[in-house]
DNA sequence: TTGAAGAGCATGAGATTAGTGCTAAATTAG
DNA sequence: CTAATTTAGCACTAATCTCATGCTCTTCAA
């Protein structure tokens, strides 16, 4: 239904929160208190982000999570993929396969549209999300599909 | 999960099929035979498209569906909205509301990203989908978010 | 040693979607 | 008029996915 999951959004909110204080580790409890998100679920999301290498977890007192990537260089698509898996607007898009692939008249066009959507996420960075002006920077050049 | 539903895709395939022969009405049976889609479901999808005013249904022998809109002027987003409802990449986007709205640090940026994604669908037309070169035409100008 | 915190795994409840069944209404052909 | 064709409308089941939570184990600092 062309919609981000809660997990992805919680993850983005958490990453954005961490982007501010990257000096020390911040606990799930503190993040959750600030973002009004179910803490237990937020913990699960952060675990996944840690597995994906986007944040670093530290146990024990004074433990928590710390941002690893640089906000200016971290595409939102990366975060989404870590939390939701590969982004496939349509089955055939981005390396995926579809049973209708042979003989689907819109396949080519579909792939292109799906690619453009993925581009939006790949060209917006975490810092863009915070500056509330994502993709203002790169603005892709005019693109024509290779026929 | 940032993905189009089957219904939307079936609808787009059907619309693309109808785009070719817009002179007469084509039955669900014939469309289904050509597209290898569960006919019963395809019928449901086409009914929704008819309700949405995108196609016109005619009953009886020689009945079927006929494209109403002009492929060059019909945005894909329109088709998707008719079949899936309003496009909300995030809850707060595009007029929607979210419980975290107050105090969400990424809300502004999120809305903008969601808007860009919606733009991709709104700027690609049905004929673009067929030509396998959607959005090659308009290529939006550089945009900066009003802060 | 103790308490704070993440890591890992599992599970239940809820929402959404895919797909099907059935009946009624309209329309055309004979 | 009758029969066949085809859409219109509604309901329903099964599968899938997401949200959310519970419990245990490990790590680590004080
Ligand atoms: S566009 Fe065609 S090939 Fe691609 S996922 Fe949709 S149906 Fe399959
Ligand atoms: S960005 Fe913030 S306000 Fe918008 S939907 Fe996500 S949580 Fe809600």
CATH assignment at residue B34: 1.10.10.10
Please indicate, yes or no, if residue A123 is contained in any of the structural domains: yes
Distance B41 CA to ligand 2 centre (A): 34
CB atoms within 10 A of CB B21: 12
A137 has a pLDDT exceeding 90: no
Q: How far apart are CA B39 and CA B45, in angstroms?
A: 10
Please indicate, yes or no, if residue B43 is contained in any of the structural domains: yes
- What pLDDT, on a 0 to 100 scale, did the predictor assign at position A132? 54
**Cβ <8 Å between A129 and B110:** yes
Please indicate, yes or no, if residue A141 is contained in any of the structural domains: no
Question: Which residue in A20, A101, A132, A136 has the most chain B C-beta atoms within 10 A of its own C-beta, making it the best mutation to test that interface?
Answer: A132
Q: How far apart are CA A7 and CA A9, in angstroms?
A: 5
Band (pLDDT 50/70/90 cuts) for residue A138 is very low
Q: Looking at residues A83-95, what average pLDDT do you find?
A: 96
b (16+ CB within 10 A) / e for A36-70: ebebeebbebbebbbeeebbeeeeeeeebbbbebe
Please indicate, yes or no, if residue B94 is contained in any of the structural domains: yes
Band (pLDDT 50/70/90 cuts) for residue A142 is very low
Please indicate, yes or no, if residue B120 is contained in any of the structural domains: yes
Burial of B144 (0-12, 13-18, 19+ CB in 10 A): exposed
Tokens of residue B70, six digits: 């002009």
3-state SS class at A83: helix
Domain that holds residue A111: 6-129
Please indicate, yes or no, if residue A1 is contained in any of the structural domains: no
Match 């453009």 to its residue by tokens: A116
Q: How far apart are CA B64 and CA A30, in angstroms?
A: 60
Q: Looking at residues B28-52, what average pLDDT do you find?
A: 97
More confident residue, B142 or A82: A82
Please indicate, yes or no, if residue B144 is contained in any of the structural domains: no
A47 has a pLDDT exceeding 60: yes
A133 has a pLDDT exceeding 80: no
Q: What's the angle, vertex CA B109, arms to CA B105 and CA B115, rounded to 5?
A: 140
Residues of A in contact with B4 (CB under 8 A): 1-2, 89-90
B2 has a pLDDT exceeding 60: yes
Model pTM? 0.93
Q: Looking at residues A109-132, what average pLDDT do you find?
A: 94
Please indicate, yes or no, if residue A16 is contained in any of the structural domains: yes
Q: Are B143 and A138 in contact (CB under 8 A)?
A: no
**Domain count along chain B:** 1
Q: Looking at residues B28-50, what average pLDDT do you find?
A: 97
What is the DSSP code string of chain B?
-----HHHHHHHHHHHHHHH--SS-B-HHHHHHHHT--HHHHHHHHHHHHHTTSEEEE-STT-EEEE-S-TTT-BHHHHHHHHH-S--SSTTSTT---TT-TT-TTHHHHHHHHHHHHHHHHH-BHHHHHHT-TTTTT-PPP-----
A145 has a pLDDT exceeding 60: no
Crossing angle (nearest 10°) for helices A76-84 and A6-20: 130
β-bridge pairing A64-67 and B55-58: unpaired
C-alpha A96, offset from chain centre:
19
- How confident is the prediction for chain A on average, in pLDDT? 91
Q: Looking at residues B121-135, what average pLDDT do you find?
A: 82
| B24–chain A nearest CA distance, Å | 20
3-state SS class at A47: helix
């Amino acid at each position: 239904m062309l919609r981000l999951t809660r997990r992805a959004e919680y993850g983005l909110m958490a990453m954005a929160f961490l982007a501010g204080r990257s000096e020390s580790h911040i606990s799930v409890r503190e993040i959750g208190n600030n973002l009004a998100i179910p803490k237990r679920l937020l913990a699960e999301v952060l675990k996944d982000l840690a597995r994906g290498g986007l944040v670093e977890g530290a146990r024990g007192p004074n433990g928590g999570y710390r941002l690893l990537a640089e906000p200016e260089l971290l595409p939102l698509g990366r975060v989404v993929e870590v939390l939701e898996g590969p982004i496939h607007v349509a089955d055939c898009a981005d390396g995926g396969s579809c049973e209708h692939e042979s003989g689907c008249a819109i396949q080519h066009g579909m792939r292109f549209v799906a690619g453009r959507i993925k581009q939006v996420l790949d060209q917006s960075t975490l810092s863009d999300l915070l500056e509330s002006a994502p993709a203002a920077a790169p603005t892709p050049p005019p693109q024509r599909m290779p026929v």
